[in-house]
Amino acid sequence: MPALRVNPNRMELMKLRRRRQVAQRGHKLLKDKLDELMKEFLARIAETRRMRIDVEHELAAAYGLFAVVRGEAGKAGLALALASGSPVDLVDVSERNVMSVRIPEFASLPMPTPGGYSLATTPAMLDTALDALAAVAPRLLDLAEREKAIELLAAEIETTRRRVNALEHVLIPQLSETIRSIGMKLDEAERGNLTRLMKVKEMIAAQEEREVQRSVGS
């Protein structure tokens, strides 16, 4: 891993060591978050898969009833009957926070009583079909909420995994390599300074010895 390009001095070395400590703490926190996200994700996956199978069976039964109605009333007659009545709110949407992920919550409002269409021109089976669809609607909303939560958790897991990998395999190794490189350069400079000091000391000692010899000779 190539080192960062910085000035090799002790002040920069202290900054890099502090930065590495922050990166290591951040890596641990993100790794813990990733583990918790994975646990939540896997727990939701199993439960949601079972719910989807049940809801699909209930929807298939309701659609089967509508198929019978369409066969009796015709496609246009069924469409006209379903378009009757006044629109109402069926869902209340809110949000909650799950490990920094904003997950929507869908609450089913009371279903309106079927009506508004002519009983003389529509088959009696239409009421049964609408009741079956109304019965499965809350579970369908619950399934939609769970699957959206799984989708958002999966996106957060991917983002967190990329951050963990960037810290673990890029930033922290770069910081460590840079710290090692600066440390080696500073040690080399210190050895060079020590060598120069020793040479200066030897020169001073030699100069003092010559002065003593001259003083004794005179």
Q: Which of 33, 31, 25, 23 minimizes the C-alpha distance to 167?
A: 23
Is 144:106 a contact under the CB 8 Å cutoff? yes
Residue 138 to residue 21: CA distance in whole angstroms: 50
Residue 163 to residue 155: CA distance in whole angstroms: 13
Hey, what are 208's tokens?
A: 């003092």
Region of 131 please: left (phi>0), alpha (psi -120 to 50) or beta.
alpha
Residue 153 to residue 201: CA distance in whole angstroms: 69
Could you report the per-residue pLDDT of 16-53, keeping only the tens digit for each? 999 999 999 999 999 999 999 999 899 889 889 999 99
First vs last Cα of the chain: how many Å apart? 67
Is 104:148 a contact under the CB 8 Å cutoff? yes
The pLDDT score that the predictor gives to residue 118 is 59
The pLDDT score that the predictor gives to residue 170 is 92
AA identity, residue 134: A
Instruction: For 126-135, give one letter per residue: b (16+ CB within 10 A) or e.
Output: bbbbbebbbe
Please report, in tens digits, the pLDDT of each residue of the chain (218 residues total): 566 677 778 888 889 999 999 999 999 999 999 999 999 899 889 889 999 999 999 999 988 988 888 887 777 777 766 667 666 677 888 888 887 888 888 887 777 666 666 565 667 787 788 888 888 888 988 999 999 999 999 999 999 999 999 999 999 999 998 888 888 888 787 787 777 888 878 788 777 777 767 776 65
Q: Which of 50, 156, 27 minimizes the C-alpha distance to 98?
A: 156
Q: For the chain, what are the domain ranges?
A: 10-172
- CATH match for 10-172 among 1.10.1040.10, 3.30.565.10, 1.10.3720.10, 1.10.287.3240: 1.10.287.3240
Strands (DSSP E) contained in 49-152 are: 91-98, 101-108
The pLDDT score that the predictor gives to residue 154 is 94
